[in-house]
A and B are shown apart, each in its own frame.
Chain A
Amino acid sequence: MDLRPRLTLAMIIYIARRLTQGVVVLLAVSLICFIIFRYAGDPVVTLAGRYATLQEREMVRKAFGLDRPFYIQYTRFIANAAQGNFGKSFVSRVPAFGLIIERFPATVELATSAIFISFVLGVGLGVLVSLKPYALRNRFIMAGSLFNISMPTFLTGILLIMVFAVYLKVLPPFGRGETVTIGFWRTGFLTWSGITHLILPAFTLGMYQLAVLLRLTRAGMREVLTEEYIKTAWAKGLPPMKVIFKHALRNALIPVVTMTGLQFGELIAFSIITETIFQWPGMGNLLLTSIYESDQPVIVTYIMLAALIILSLNIIVDILYAYLNPKIRYD
Chain B
Amino acid sequence: MTKRFFKSEILHNFFHDPSALVGSFLLVVSILAAIFAPLIAPQNPYDLEKVSLEHFLKPPIWMEGGEGPFLLGTDDQGRGILSTILYGCRTSMTVGFGVVLIAGTFGVTMGLLAGYYGGLLDSLTMRLADTFFSFSTTLMAILMLGLFKERGVLVVIIAICIADWVRYARTMRGSVLEVKEEVYIMAAKATGSGDFRLLLRHLLPNAIPPIFVVIAVDLAVVIMLEATLSFLGVGVPLTEPSLGMMISIGKDYVYAGMWWLVVFPGAALVLLVVGINLFADWLREELNPKIQR
Contact = CB atoms under 8 A, between A and B. Distances in A.
A306 interface: yes
Contacts of A276: 232
Interface of B: 127, 130-131, 133-136, 138-140, 142-143, 146-149, 220, 224, 227-228, 231-234, 244, 247, 251, 254-255, 257, 259, 262, 266, 269-270, 273-274, 277-278, 281
19 contacts: A36-B147, A40-B148, A150-B273, A155-B247, A155-B262, A158-B266, A159-B266, A166-B254, A263-B133, A265-B138, A265-B140, A269-B136, A273-B228, A273-B232, A292-B233, A296-B147, A299-B146, A307-B135, A314-B130
B120 to A, nearest CB: 13
Interface string A220-236: 00000000000000000
B279 to A, nearest CB: 11
Contacts of B142: 269, 272
B198 to A, nearest CB: 26
A269 B232 contact: no
Given A150-B270, A272-B139, 8 more contacts: A40-B148, A154-B227, A158-B262, A265-B139, A266-B139, A269-B142, A288-B232, A291-B234
A270 interface: yes
B274 A150 contact: yes
Nearest to B217: A149
B135 to A, nearest CB: 4
A262 interface: yes
A294 interface: yes
B247 A158 contact: yes
Contact of A146 (B127, B234, B269, B281): B281
A36 B148 CA distance: 9
A175 B259 CA distance: 22
Interface residues of A, number: 44
A39 to B, nearest CB: 11
A268 B278 contact: no
Contacts of A291: 146, 234
Contacts of A205: none
B251 A262 contact: no
B135 A150 contact: no
A163 B111 CA distance: 46
A32 to B, nearest CB: 9
Nearest to A208: B138
Contact of B228 (A152, A166, A314): A152
Contacts of B251: 158, 277
Interface of A: 21, 25, 36, 40, 146-147, 149-155, 158-159, 161-162, 166, 173, 262-266, 268-270, 272-273, 276-277, 287-288, 291-292, 294, 296, 299, 303, 306-307, 310-311, 314
A85 B227 CA distance: 35
Contacts, number: 105
Given A162-B254, A291-B234, A299-B146, A146 B135 contact: no
B278 A154 contact: no
Contacts of A146: 274, 277-278, 281
A234 to B, nearest CB: 25
Nearest to B281: A146
A265 B134 contact: yes
A233 B21 CA distance: 43
Contacts of A277: 251
A272 B281 CA distance: 29
A154 B273 contact: no
Nearest to B226: A152
Given A262-B134, A273-B228, A161 B139 contact: no
A151 B263 CA distance: 12
Nearest to A303: B143
Contact of A21 (B127, B133, B138, B224): B127
Contacts of A288: 146, 232-234
Given A146-B281, A166-B257, A269-B142, A264 B270 contact: no
A154 B136 contact: no
Contacts of B133: 262-263
Considering the complex of A and B, which 10 residue pairs feature the smallest CB-CB distances, nearest first? A265-B136, A269-B139, A269-B138, A291-B146, A150-B273, A265-B135, A152-B224, A150-B274, A266-B136, A265-B139
B259 A40 contact: no
A73 B118 CA distance: 38
A57 to B, nearest CB: 22
A268 B139 contact: yes
A237 B273 CA distance: 46
Nearest to B257: A166
Contacts of A149: 220, 277
B131 A150 contact: no
Contacts of B134: 262-265, 310-311, 314
B255 A166 contact: yes
